[in-house]
Amino acid sequence: MMIRHFGLSIALLSTLFGLAQRGTITGTVTAMENGKAEPQPFASVTVRSSGVENKGTSTGASTDLDGKYMFKVEPGNYTVVTTMVGYPSVEKAVSVIEDQSVTVDLELNGGAQEMKAVEVVKEKRVETETAVLMETRKSDQVVNGIGRQQIAKSQDRTAGDVVKRIPGVTIINDRFVMIRGLADRYNTVLLNDAVAPSLEADKRAFSFDLIPSGALDRILIYKSGAPELPGDFAGGVVKVATVGVPEKNETKLNYAASYRSGTTFNDFYKSQGSGTDALGFDNGFRKLPSDFPANLYDVSDVQQLAALGREMPNNWTAQKSTATPDQRAGFFIARRFGKQGGNTYGNVTSIDYTSTSQHYTAHNYNYNTYDLTAQRSDTIYNYTDNEYLHNVRASVLHNWSALIGTKTKLEFRNLFNQLGEDRTTMRTGRDLEGNSDVRNYAFRYQQRTIYSGQLHGSHELGNSDMSTLNWTLGYGKGINKEPDFRRVRTQRDLDQADANGPYHLVLASGASTLDAGRFFSDLNETVMSGKLDFEQKIRVKKEGLGVKVLAGGYTERKDRDFSARWMSFKMANLVGFDNSQLSLPLDQVFSTDHINSTTGFKLEEGTNPSDKYTGANTLLAGYVSGQVSMEKKWNVSGGVRVENNRQELTSATYGGQKIGVDKQLIFVLPSVNATWNFGEKSLVRAGYSATVNRPEFRELAPFSFYDFSTNNFIYGNPNLRTATIQNADVRYEIYPTLNEVLSLGAFVKNFTDPIEMFYVPGTGGGGTRNFTFGNAKGAQSFGAEAEVRRSLNGWFTEGWLSHLGVLFNATYIHSEVDLGTTQGGQSATRPMMGQSPYVLNAGLYFSQPEKKLQYNILYNICGQRLFAIGSVGIPDIYEMPRNVIDATVSKGIGKHLEVKLSAQDILDQPVRLVQDSNANGSLESTDEEVMSYRRGAYFSAGASWKF
């Protein structure tokens, strides 16, 4: 029914679009230069209605590289106005007849106005679609990006939704970036030119779901290296810029409500929470009691131990409610201060709040060794997991900007996010290996806090624009807390299942995180950084030849402190224990009467020395580079970056043996980039760079964590080495107009000592797997990328097709890891972990500015990627491709109101994990599904009001 309604809306909109019988205004903007009329690219052209009905309405654009412009308008009288820095505005009146085209050429003359170019540079707009494409074209490196203007065309809610529209990018778990098929560990994220803090205990990754899309100015991804870029990457350097000061005062309120199929208005379960969960954090309800000892190992008094057990809340069941529609609300205000010609100040504040719910049913399987004769694997277990997730995000952005005189710009940017996720897992099914029918539960609450602040300055030195100095001071703070993560298992014999026999609580003989276990963890990370860049242009006598030198330094200090504590209930006395308690409902099992030293339960500490670590990373880097360019012909830049990095970690093994990591390494990282312009609209660029990939704190620490959903254990390896990568890129680019691009490129990367996740043979049981990190001998990744971003108005001069734009980008990647001879039990070669062989994005954008109407359809798919590594008799597991289609309609009403309707993941195809059961390197019909679930199609309706 949803697809039928969606198709009906498309047909209706198409009919409306076809009704427009408009005229066309085209022309060229020129200016006299050296006695000759030269086309003027980037000139601003505005078409303003002179009719009574539409009096005051206008639409604007910039001229292309040939100084040309074109507008589709309704029949009527208009005024065409062009403006450009340094010239007085020029305007002409014109009448447009239905289905006719009129040419209006505009010449900028009358004497150039005296203006200081530095004022233009300070105020240039960088968030528009045209500005992003021009920065892509002018960059020395291979770069792709997306700006605020294009972001507004979709209903993307977070930076994670936005960034996946960029060529070669996929998003893992809705928040982690994978670039060119390389996992998140190979990417570096800069938030306003400062390293973004990570909140993930188990990986090196920035959570892109932290930033609401409304706070974004633009995202640029640099895929080739340069001396001024960080040296620790292989996939890409992601530069995220938050909103700066707009051109005018603005106030905006927005609100949206959303419906998710399978969730909204259905039953929803979650455990009891605190009064502040609605703000994204726990107020202390889930923390250990204030008088709880630092550990239970020192508590010898049985009565005291029983009293401590009774202090723990009896919250082993979920509360039932009805899932209400998701809610999103935001407030945005921007103000400018100061007078024309004097100092100018600006402020942007954005406050966003989101509350969402999601329920899905996951089918979870595990198997024994594949039987070649029977062409199948015997099942270990067959579970059905009902997952209930409730998420809250509160975000505050507060930025200041000051233009002091004509040579100084200062910026102070602040972003604060508070996120809370409440996840309840209710598992039913059969454990065939254990001959039991199971009913298991997990209750997990995670709160994440992130602050990122930057103070930035740009200065032009001397009396010309030949010397510039830029500096940035950054501070980031990340906090991740998991208070009272509870897991409990119950089971009954399969023979009793049909008779509806009672379920019995499963208790371990010792402390366990799985059986009546309670887990607490805290992660704190602080990042402080400083950056200084100097650029000097050198005057040369040859006309058109440009030379400049760049030099700079960077320092960064990252500190992390992680600690976990866990305990569980067990039988207090094996002889006197009352076994009837094990069959009681879960809300009665751990009542205070049943926690005692004779017939009931007692707490047992399981925390060990490996459950905490402290880490520090100190990076000192310097670079120098040079650039030589011949105007509109070619550009060559190159240099070297030197990084001195010291990595320290203190932890211990399970048995208490101290582990200390202290590695100080110096890397010399050369790079070179070259661009050849074949004409005004096409160029070829090529680049080479050497980069590194350092192990992260979590990968070095011996801490072991159990993942309830995937039934896996993961622990670190303090002997990891830093990987080195050689990167080469080439790309051909065509820019038909200022907001159109066609490109085709190729890349190759060679890795030495790449860090990979390995399965640990001979470990685990009951379908569990153990994984750790290690260095492979080497790896190679190569591929190709293509991008098309075009408007159809060059081929269709009328009708709704003339309003249509096309977006397409695709990436093909092949990677192979050489594990060497040290990793027994695994294939000698395999794809890199998490690598997708292809990524494809496509979209149709309809825009009718004069009617304030916009309609978009977007498509995304990525190829199967390696999800979990296997061994002898343990198959590799792959995440399968799924087709994702999103659609958005927006309509402006009057001067202040805009409404949006969107449908996301319309096809609602399942997320599927499939194992290569017969280990032949390809997935076939005989290979078996390990997990599958549907997220649910998502429909939103929202409105924004501008003051």
Phi-psi region of 421 (alpha: psi -120 to 50; beta: other; left: phi over 0): beta
What the block records as the tokens of 566 is: 């866990």
Taken in order 145, 146, 148, 149, the sign of the CA dihedral is positive
Q: What angle do CA 486, 487, 492 make, to 5 degrees?
A: 145
Residues 6+ apart with CB under 8 A from 108: 29, 30, 31, 40, 43, 82, 84, 87, 88, 90
Residue 6, burial from CB neighbour count under 10 angstroms (0-12, 13-18, 19+): middle
pLDDT at 173: 63
What the block records as the tokens of 710 is: 């995937």
pLDDT at 522: 93
Element containing residue 618 per DSSP (H, E) = strand 612-630
pLDDT at 15: 38
Q: Which residue has the tokens 């010291």?
A: 646
Q: Which residue has the tokens 């640990």?
A: 760
Which amino acid is present at 663? K
Which amino acid is present at 166? I
Q: Which of 93, 820, 118 is nearest to 468 (CA)?
A: 118
What are 445's strand-pairing partners? 422
Torsion on CA atoms 113, 117, 121, 125, rounded to nearest 10:
10
pTM to 2 decimal places: 0.82
3-state helix, strand, coil in the chain (%, to 5): 10, 55, 35
Residues 6+ apart with CB under 8 A from 746: 729, 730, 731, 782, 783, 784, 785
pLDDT at 670: 96
pLDDT at 18: 38
Q: Which of 135, 125, 105 is nearest to 243 (CA)?
A: 125
Contact at 8 Å (CB) between 224 and 139?
no
Q: What Rg, from alpha-carbon coordinates, does the chain have?
A: 30
Using CA atoms, how far apart are residues 362 and 386, in angstroms rounded to an integer?
Answer: 6
Using CA atoms, how far apart are residues 661 and 716, in angstroms rounded to an integer?
Answer: 12
Phi-psi region of 251 (alpha: psi -120 to 50; beta: other; left: phi over 0): beta
Q: Which of 287, 343, 276, 342 is nearest to 313 (CA)?
A: 287
What are 61's strand-pairing partners? 45
Using CA atoms, how far apart are residues 734 and 746, in angstroms rounded to an integer?
Answer: 15
Our measurement of the distance from residue 498's CA atom to the centroid of its chain's CA atoms, rounded to an integer in Å, reads 47
Mean pLDDT split into 10-residue runs, the chain, 947 residues: 41 38 79 69 79 53 75 83 77 80 80 35 51 74 76 63 71 71 79 76 66 75 89 86 74 94 96 93 91 89 92 93 95 82 83 95 90 87 95 92 86 92 95 90 94 91 84 92 94 74 90 91 93 91 84 94 94 91 93 93 92 93 92 88 95 88 94 88 92 87 68 79 93 83 92 82 61 85 90 75 85 85 61 82 84 87 83 82 91 90 93 89 87 94 90
Q: Which residue has the tokens 């001229």?
A: 63
Using CA atoms, how far apart are residues 848 and 846, in angstroms rounded to an integer?
Answer: 7
Residues 6+ apart with CB under 8 A from 122: 403, 406, 409, 458
3-class DSSP assignment, residue 149: helix
Contact at 8 Å (CB) between 640 and 670?
yes
What the block records as the tokens of 290 is: 């204030």
pLDDT at 202: 59
Element containing residue 306 per DSSP (H, E) = helix 302-311
